[in-house]
Amino acid sequence: MLAVHFDSPGGPENLYVKEVPKPHPGEGEVLVKVSASALNRADLLQRRGKYPPPKGASEILGLEAAGTVAGFGSGCKGRWRVGDTVMALLSGGGHAQYVTVPEGHLMPVPADMTFAQAAAIPEAWLTAFQLLHFVGKIEEGETVLIHAGASGVGVAAIQLVRLAKAIPIVTAGTQEKLEATANLGAAAGFNYKTEDFSEKVLAFTQGSGVDIILDCVGGSYWEKNLNCLKTDGRWILYGLLSGGEVHGDFLARLLAKRGSIHTSLLRSREKEASLGLTVETLFFRQYKERLVGAFTSTVLPHLCAGARPRLRPLVHSVYPLHRIAEAHAAMEENRNIGKIVVEMPP
């Protein structure tokens, strides 16, 4: 099969497509013929040598995919049939023509949705869903500050906050991105490049601050985040785009607000034993299966035609596999509003 490859860490120009062996599904796994995948910041970090895949996971880039069921490993429970259209949450391997997936990590593709649209869902939407519900325990009426509001996770989070009957507000770096987030349901948006978002958030909340912060930026935002975090608020850190260093009276100010910090990375730390699955692997599979199951039952129906309210993935651009370097360059330049999708050759 064809897959994205790079020989050494570096820039997008190091990426190319080459022929590699097709994977074989293991115990409880499904073989999926990939039609489309999507980019995530983790792919860029892995390409630079800064985020290696978990032990036992595919070395190939790609944390989500959409396609058709092509085969089964031993021990599958008959949830799927060959030819079913599915979308998958992955630990790696999505930027290839075939990938193996634990059967509990698959979701059906809504009938009216293209593979390109479906590929934009698993990693971003499950991440946002996990952060809001499994980690943040969002409640009706709460206000949520979403950094990088026009990113894949941001686009999903805005809509999921609305679905939870809470209030999403965002930061973004251009007026175009702020307008796009407003169209998706953001109650307010602030340009972090031209204004102090903490002051704007406090003005919007009449001085009370926000209940939850979804933060993929990290270090450079700590002071402003604390300024606008509500007493007893939850600050959820899931990325470090600006680095992880924090200086000053961070802990004292956090303690004064009785604030809590939660950290989360959805990509599993799976380990394969020489015989079968380890307890750790099963734990992470079961966690992801619970996450996928909760999302499938509560959110996926709203991604189907005719749903009220109707949620939708936002695809910024679609690149064929052989233009993978261009797709990475586009994400590095932060041009996208929503997801960048990569289509596999037929």
**CA separation for the pair 192, 171 (Å, rounded):** 6
Averaged pLDDT, groups of 10, the chain, 346 residues long: 97 97 96 98 94 90 98 94 96 97 96 96 96 97 97 96 98 96 98 95 97 89 91 92 76 88 71 44 73 96 93 96 97 93 94
Return the ∠ at Cα 87 (arms to 134 and 29), rounded to 5°: 90
Q: Which of 261, 313, 319 is nearest to 37 (CA)?
A: 319
Please name the residues in contact with 185: beta carbons below 8 A apart, sequence gap of 6 or more: 158, 159, 161, 162, 168
Amino acid at 300: L
pLDDT value at position 331? 95
> Which residues is 169 bridged to in the sheet?
145, 188
pLDDT value at position 270? 47
3-state secondary structure of 181: helix
Q: Which two tokens mark 233?
A: 């608020």
pLDDT value at position 286? 83
Spell out the domains of the chain, with CATH numbers in brackets. 2-122+316-343 (3.90.180.10), 136-263 (3.40.50.720)
pLDDT digits (tens, 9 = 90+) for 245-257: 777 788 888 888 9
Please name the residues in contact with 34: beta carbons below 8 A apart, sequence gap of 6 or more: 65, 66, 67, 94, 96, 97, 98, 99, 344
**CA separation for the pair 152, 41 (Å, rounded):** 10
**CA separation for the pair 268, 280 (Å, rounded):** 10
Helix%, strand%, coil% for the chain, nearest 5:
35, 25, 40
Is 167 within 8 Å of 141 (Cβ atoms)? yes
Please name the residues in contact with 346: beta carbons below 8 A apart, sequence gap of 6 or more: none
Q: Which of 280, 84, 51, 314 is nearest to 180 (CA)?
A: 314
**CA separation for the pair 42, 299 (Å, rounded):** 24
**CA separation for the pair 256, 231 (Å, rounded):** 8
**CA separation for the pair 145, 226 (Å, rounded):** 12
| pTM for this entry | 0.91
pLDDT digits (tens, 9 = 90+) for 38-64: 999 999 999 999 998 988 889 999 999
pLDDT value at position 273? 36
Provide the b/e sequence for 61-90 (b: ≥16 CB within 10 Å): bbbbbbbbbbbbbeebeeebeeebbbbbbb
| Inter-CA distances, 262 with 41, 73, 140, 179, 265, Å | 20, 36, 20, 29, 10
pLDDT value at position 218? 80
